[in-house]
């Protein structure tokens, strides 16, 4: 198969999944072309004579245009790739601008099929915005095939946009060889003392992530046992979380690491992962933590219960229940038997339910079905 992949280049979940999937499809012997405004960060160091290949979307500044038109630029570049490389399938990760660009390129060329994967905020945030509602619905309806990363997201998409079409649920996956437990005490000593519990949170610090809840949960835990908190990522709510850590007196034990590139190392030495989001379409960071044998304390929201099994791989609480989350965190950290059992169960789930060998064939089957149809 010859496949073009449109995705975001940033470290967000959709870009990570799109890039990792494209790399695995290429390793399976198929020709893969990435199309984007910048090379996806996970693509660095890959590629070569046999691909995967990257095609950069060109930009154009014109005084009459008050703002750039990323969809049109992406559609133009994708059109060139389709015509030059005889692309059979365009896989768009995110409805706007990628699915709309792919559909536009399909109309221009009269070739290729379009498969769109919905990741979450392209539906719940961007798509729900009145300025993009009709174009998002159009992208969903005109795609040849649509997938969603969770059953929750598929149901929410049908409800928000009133579409009756089939949406196939294909969960995200995790590289179990990369996200593993690290037992070297010297690595852990960079962040915590041997007697301290190490809690971690990874996100883009948007309001939906409720990072102030993370700090509040940690403050309650740290008042009971020696502990440290690692905050990985950056975003609009970072200053509020920093200020709250100061107010609660835990700033000395809370470390804001920014967009830390080596997230697998931090997860590999951590004891507990906190994810109190008010909405998560899947929760990829939680799955990566589970692969590292790290129990998860999270909000029972969105697609998180499809990833974290309450009482088995972690503890789920209502959104905003910081007392409940702190109680759950202390229960896990104080009971070595519970901690170990949850860690092993999380690793087992990652290696069975969410392993690439289980998920990637579902995408390949969707590719083949969409091309044949």
pLDDT digits (tens, 9 = 90+) for 175-226: 999 999 999 999 999 999 999 999 999 998 999 999 999 999 999 999 999 9
Name the nearest CA neighbour of 286 among 265, 269, 305, 307.
307
**Residue 193 class from Cβ within 10 Å (0-12 exposed, 13-18 middle, 19+ buried)?**
exposed
- Reported as a pLDDT band with limits 50, 70 and 90, residue 127 is low
- Reported as a pLDDT band with limits 50, 70 and 90, residue 373 is confident
DSSP H helices in the chain: 13-27, 70-85, 100-109, 121-124, 133-142, 151-161, 185-188, 211-222, 238-247, 263-269, 284-291, 322-334, 336-352, 356-372
Name the nearest CA neighbour of 269 among 184, 351, 176, 175.
184
What's the longest Cα–Cα distance across the chain?
66
For residues 117 and 93, is the Cβ–Cβ distance under 8 A? Answer: yes
pLDDT one-digit tens code per residue, 74-84: 999 999 999 99
pLDDT one-digit tens code per residue, 297-326: 999 999 999 999 999 999 999 999 999 999
For residues 35 and 111, is the Cβ–Cβ distance under 8 A? Answer: no
Instruction: Dump the DSSP string for 53-67.
Output: EEEEPP----TT-SS
Q: Per-residue pLDDT for 328 more than 70?
A: yes
Only one residue has tokens 């790399």, namely 23
Between strands 227-232 and 254-258, the pairing is parallel
For residues 288 and 311, is the Cβ–Cβ distance under 8 A? Answer: no
Cα–Cα distance list, 294 to 84, 273, 335 (Å): 46, 7, 14
| Both tokens assigned to 127 | 């798509």
Buried b (16+ CB within 10 A) or exposed e, 69-85: ebbebbbbbbbebbeee
Instruction: Dump the DSSP string for 19-56.
Output: HHHHHHHHHTT-EEEEEESS--GGGTT---TT--EEEE
Domains of the chain listed by start with CATH number: 2-173+355-372 (3.40.50.2000), 185-352 (3.40.50.2000)
Taking residues 227-236, report their average pLDDT.
94
pLDDT one-digit tens code per residue, 129-146: 677 788 889 999 999 999
């Amino acid at each position: 198969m010859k496949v073009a992949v449109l995705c975001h280049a940033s470290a967000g979940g959709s870009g990570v999944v799109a890039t990792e999937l494209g790399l695995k499809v290429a390793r399976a012997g198929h020709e893969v072309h990435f199309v984007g405004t910048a090379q996806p960060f996970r693509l660095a160091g890959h590629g070569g004579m046999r691909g995967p290949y990257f095609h950069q979307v060109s930009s154009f500044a014109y005084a009459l245009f008050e703002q750039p038109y990323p969809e049109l630029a992406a559609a133009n570049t994708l059109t060139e790739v389709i015509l030059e490389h005889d692309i059979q399938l365009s896989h768009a990760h995110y409805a706007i601008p990628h699915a709309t660009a792919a559909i536009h390129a399909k109309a221009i060329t009269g070739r290729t099929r379009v498969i769109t994967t919905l990741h979450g905020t392209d539906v719940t945030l961007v798509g729900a915005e009145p300025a993009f509602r009709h174009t998002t619905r159009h992208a969903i309806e005109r795609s040849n095939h649509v997938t969603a990363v969770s059953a929750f997201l598929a149901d929410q998409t049908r409800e928000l946009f009133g579409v009756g079409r089939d949406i196939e649920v294909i969960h995200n996956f995790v590289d179990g060889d990369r996200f593993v437990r690290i037992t070297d005490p010297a690595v852990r000593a960079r962040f915590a003392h041997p007697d301290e519990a190490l809690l971690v949170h990874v996100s883009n610090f948007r309001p939906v992530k409720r990072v102030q809840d993370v700090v509040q949960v940690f403050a309650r835990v740290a008042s009971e046992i020696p502990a440290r908190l690692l905050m990985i990522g950056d975003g609009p709510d970072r200053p509020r979380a920093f200020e709250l850590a100061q107010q609660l007196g835990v700033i000395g034990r809370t470390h804001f690491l920014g967009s830390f590139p080596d997230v697998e190392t931090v997860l590999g030495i951590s004891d507990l992962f906190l994810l109190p989001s008010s909405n998560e379409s899947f929760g990829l960071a939680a799955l990566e933590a589970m692969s590292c044998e790290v129990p998860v304390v999270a909000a029972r929201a969105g697609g998180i219960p499809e990833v974290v099994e309450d009482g088995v791989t972690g503890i789920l609480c209502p959104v905003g229940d910081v007392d409940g989350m702190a109680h759950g965190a202390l229960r896990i950290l104080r009971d070595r038997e519970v901690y170990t059992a949850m860690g092993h169960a999380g690793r087992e789930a990652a290696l069975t339910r969410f392993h690439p060998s289980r998920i990637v064939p579902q995408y390949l089957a969707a590719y083949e079905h969409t091309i044949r149809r």
